[in-house]
Amino acid sequence: MSGTKRVHYIDNLRWMTVFLLVLYHAAMAYNTWGELNYIFFSEVPAIISIVTFIAPWFMPLLFLLAGMSTYYSLSKRSAGEFLRERVVRLGIPFLFGILVITPILSLIADITVNGDDHNYFSHYEIYFTYFTDLTGYDGGFTFGHLWFIFVLLLYSVCACGIIKAGAALFGEGKRGTGRAGLIVAAILLSLLAVATYEVKLIGKPLIMYFCMYLLGYCITSIDAKGEASSAPTTTGSTQVPAQSQPSATKEPERKSLVGKLAKAKWILVALFLVSSVADVVLFHFVEGYDTLNTVCSYLSFVTGVPALLALGHDYLDRTSAFAAYNSKISYVFYIVHFPVVVLTQYYLDRAGVGYILNFVLTLLIAYPATYGLCVLIEKTKNVRVLFGLKKKD
C-alpha cells in the first residue's frame, strides 16, 4: 500500500453507508421516542427498529473512513493544499446547502409541525431569523444533516495540526518509533471513543466522532509504515530477488491491522448481529432492561465498526465503473438525499397515502430520484462545484 494507492474497500464502504441514509431518514418519521423530525406520522416500532439497528455504528464508521482517507490525501498534498481541498470539497457545499438545501427541511417542518402556510421563498425570512435548538424541527434555522460536513471540515483543520505534532513527537522519519507511537495512539483513541460514546455536545457525540476520525488516520498510517518496513531491501540499485526472501510478499498482509482484524471477521460479525438485534428488541419490545440495553448498544458500536471494516477489507477491495461512480457522487448523495426523502413523504401524505405504504413508496421513489439528481448535478458543469465536485474543463 503506497501513500497514493487507491484502497477500494474504503471508497465502497463509504458510499454503501451513505446510501443507507435514505432508509434511515425515511424511518425517522416513525420514531417512538418523541422526536419531532421534519415530518412525523406515527410511532411504528417495526419501522423505527431500522434506525435503532443502524445508529450505533454508521456515523462512527463514516468518520473512521474519513480519517483513513485523510492519510492518502495528505500523502500526496501539503497541509496547505489539503486544507484548501477540504474547503472546496466541504466548505462550499456546506454554505450552499445552508442557503438552498436545509431551508426545504425547515419549511416542511413549519408546515407539518406548526401548521403554517408558507412557500419556499416566504419561509426564508423565518429560516434566517428564528434560531432555537438548530434542529429545524420547529421551522427555524438548522444545519440539518449538513452538520456532518461542517464537523468534518473542522476535524480536517484540527487533525492537520495534530498529525504534524504527532509526526514530530513520534519520529516521522523513524519507522519503528513512528509505528509504535501510532499503535499507542490508536489504542488510546479506541478507549476514548468507547468512553465518550454517550457524551453529547449539541446533541452529537462529537468527541467520539473525532476519536474515530483520528483512529482511521492512525490505522492507515500503521499499515502503511508496516508495509514500508517489510519491503524488500536493496543493494545499490538492485532489489534483492524475491526468491531469496520468500516471506517478502506475505509480510504486508501479516503486518496489516485491518488484515489481522479480517481474520476474526466472522466472530466480530456474530457479536455485532447478536448485540444489534438485542439492542433493537430491548429498546422497542421488552421493558425493564435499560442497563442491558445500553450494554448492547455499546457492543453494537464496538463490534459493528470493526466487523464492517473487516468485511470490506476481504470482500469490497475491488472496483468497477458503477462502484467508482457511486464513490464519486457519495457526498452529493449525502447532501441531496434528505430533502428528497422529506418532500416525497410530504406529498405522498397529502395524496392520502397511508403511513405504512408511505414508507415503502418513499424508498421506491426517493432512491432513484436522489440518484438521478446526483447524476444531473455531476454532469452540470457550473453546478457540480457547489456540491464538492471538481469543475469540469
Residue 250 has a pLDDT of 42
Distance (Å) of CA 254 to CA 134, 174, 190, 215: 47, 20, 21, 20
Phi, psi angles (nearest 5°) of residue 129: -125, -10
Distance CA 55, CA 276 (A): 10
Q: In the block, which residue shows the cell 447532501?
A: 335
- Kindly state whether residue 393 falls inside one of the protein's structural domains: no
Q: Which helix (H) or strand (E) holds 365?
A: helix 355-379
* 236 lies in some domain: no
Candidates 270, 227, 220; CA nearest to 250 is 227
Q: Count of CB atoms within 10 A of residue 79's CB?
A: 13
Name the percent of the chain in helix, strand, coil, to the closest 5: 70, 0, 25
Identify the pLDDT of residue 161: 86
Nearest of 347, 346, 339 to residue 370 by alpha carbon? 339
Q: Number of folded domains in the chain?
A: 1
**Distance from C-alpha of 151 to C-alpha of 319, rounded to nearest angstrom:** 29
Asked if residue 329 is part of any domain, the answer here is yes
Q: Is residue 35 part of a domain?
A: yes
Does a structural domain hold residue 3?
A: no
Domain that holds residue 132: 8-230+250-387
Output the tens digit of pLDDT for each of the chain's 393 residues.
444 567 999 999 999 999 999 999 999 999 999 988 999 999 999 999 999 999 999 999 999 999 999 999 988 888 889 999 999 999 999 999 999 999 999 999 999 988 888 899 999 989 999 999 899 999 999 999 999 999 999 999 999 988 877 766 665 554 455 788 889 999 999 999 999 999 999 899 999 999 999 999 999 998 887 665 555 544 444 444 444 444 444 444 445 889 999 999 999 999 999 999 999 999 999 999 999 999 999 999 999 999 999 999 999 999 999 999 999 999 999 999 999 999 999 999 999 999 999 999 999 999 999 999 999 999 999 999 999 998 875
Do residues 249 and 242 lie in contact, with contact meaning Cβ atoms separated by under 8 Å?
A: yes
In sequence order, what E strands does the chain have? Answer: 234-235, 238-239
Task: Give a yes or no: residue 268 inside a domain.
Answer: yes
Residue 16 resides in a domain: yes
Q: Residue 201 in 3-state DSSP?
A: strand
Answer yes or no: is 210 within a domain.
yes
Distance from C-alpha of 88 to C-alpha of 95, rounded to nearest angstrom: 11
What is the reported pLDDT for 6?
A: 76
